Amino acid sequence: MVKEKILVIGASGQIGVELTLALRKIYGSSNVIASDLREENDLLKGSGPYVSLDVMNKEMLHVQVIRQNVTQIYLLAAILSATGEKNPNLAWHLNMQSLLNVLDIAREEKLHKVYWPSSIAVFGPTSPKHNCPQQTIIEPTTVYGISKYAGEFWCNYFSYRYGVDVRSLRYPGLISYKSAPGGGTTDYAIEIFQEAIDEKKYDCFLREDTYLPMMYMPDAIRATIELMEADKDKITVRTSYNLSGMSFSPMDIAAEIKKHIPEFSISYQTDYRQAIADSWPQSIDDSVARRDWGWKEEYNLERMTRDMMQNLNK
């Protein structure tokens, strides 16, 4: 087996913490270097190497890649949809330049693989609302969605032009309890659990009937690793794969939480994030990922809610 040395950029974030821990289990603690602009997340401490790194500083990134003999990069640093709308220039700059820095270095240093996540946010109001296909009309209306769609084409370009083995998933909204979410429109589906346990009520910033594609973090981590470990000749999509787990509205998740906390109540006060959610599809067709590398989710709303409640109550 080829010896891999993996650099995770943005390792202290919502996905980064769990992905780093999962990669360390597979590749060995010392072979997975966590890095972030902010301090090391408590859950990572003592589990393997950590370096403080700004992905925008290309020279320093390049030095780290050479010095640590890095063979794969997982790039997770980004500004998400809701925060992006507050500072569009910053979101565009970080989301694009970080990717270009990583792709350039991957090409120069002949890295084995790169992982970079896209999002359901690439889709816009003109995309199909139900079972949105892999290839369809894509006209995003958020700066986050624009940056993800442009990023997908940079991945495709580096793959075909320079042979960089870069792989990507269009994650739905991700739900988890280990590390805090980073400013997305789907974050309500995480906040609702903590508020239900602490306050027995939640004031939701999306309308009750806002259906969105969602996924539980264990499924997202498994999908990422399965995609990265799939044989190269199975990967037919070099932009980014549609990926689906479940689809629900605030009303649905509130009803599921009520099964565990009968006195829980939800109220609704929408803000600017409603328009972002309304621009996205309600469900995703991920049949290409299922065909190419055998994707299948394990968690539905009921199973995820049970697991979230159990873990948060601990």
As a whole number of angstroms, the distance between CA 202 and CA 59 comes to 46
Sign of dihedral through CA atoms 255, 261, 263, 265?
negative
Secondary-structure percent of the chain, ordered helix, strand, coil, rounded to 5: 45, 15, 40
Q: Which residue has the tokens 């320093």?
A: 60
Instruction: Provide the minimum distance between the beta carbon of 263 and ligand NAD in the complex, in angstroms, as a whole number.
Output: 29
Give yes or no for residue 80 binding ligand SER (CB under 6 A): yes
The one segment of 23-31, 127-135, 182-190, 236-244 that binds ligand NAD by CB under 6 A? 182-190
**Of 50, 74, 115, 144, which one is the catalytic site residue?**
144
Give yes or no for residue 281 binding ligand NAD (CB under 6 A): no
As a whole number of angstroms, the distance between CA 207 and CA 85 comes to 19
Q: Given the complex with ligand NAD, which of 111 and 214 has the nearer CB atom?
A: 214
Residue pair 268/208 in contact (Cβ under 8 Å)? The answer is: yes
Residue pair 105/111 in contact (Cβ under 8 Å)? The answer is: yes
Choosing among ligand NAD, ligand SER, none, which partner's interface includes residue 147 (Cβ < 5 to 8 Å by kind)? Answer: none
Known catalytic membership, residue 241: no
Choosing among ligand NAD, ligand SER, none, which partner's interface includes residue 185 (Cβ < 5 to 8 Å by kind)? Answer: ligand SER
Choosing among ligand SER, ligand NAD, none, which partner's interface includes residue 15 (Cβ < 5 to 8 Å by kind)? Answer: ligand NAD
Choosing among ligand SER, ligand NAD, none, which partner's interface includes residue 56 (Cβ < 5 to 8 Å by kind)? Answer: ligand NAD
> Of 119, 179, 244, 249, which lies in the binding site for ligand SER, with binding defined by CB under 6 A?
119
Q: What are phi and psi of 204, to 5 degrees?
A: -90, 140
Instruction: Provide the minimum distance between the beta carbon of 54 and ligand NAD in the complex, in angstroms, as a whole number.
Output: 5
> Of 10, 16, 184, 245, which lies in the binding site for ligand SER, with binding defined by CB under 6 A?
184
Number of neighbours of residue 191 by Cβ within 10 angstroms:
15
Query: In a 3-state reduction of DSSP, which class is residue 105?
Result: helix
Instruction: Provide the minimum distance between the beta carbon of 161 and ligand SER in the complex, in angstroms, as a whole number.
Output: 27
Site for ligand SER in 126-145 (CB under 6 A): 144
Instruction: Provide the minimum distance between the beta carbon of 24 and ligand NAD in the complex, in angstroms, as a whole number.
Output: 17
Choosing among ligand NAD, ligand SER, none, which partner's interface includes residue 242 (Cβ < 5 to 8 Å by kind)? Answer: none
| Per-position DSSP letters for 70-88, written without gaps between them | --EEEE-----HHHHHH-H
Residues whose CB falls within 8 Å of the CB of residue 36, separated by 6 or more in sequence, listed in order = 9, 10, 11, 12, 13, 16, 50, 52, 53, 77
Residue pair 145/81 in contact (Cβ under 8 Å)? The answer is: yes
Residue pair 116/99 in contact (Cβ under 8 Å)? The answer is: yes
Q: Could you give the residue numbers annotated as active site? A: 144
Q: List residues binding ligand SER (CB under 6 A).
A: 80-81, 119-121, 144, 173, 184-186
Contact set with ligand NAD (CB under 6 A): 9-10, 12-16, 36-38, 53-56, 76-78, 80, 94, 117, 119, 171, 173-174, 181-182, 184, 186
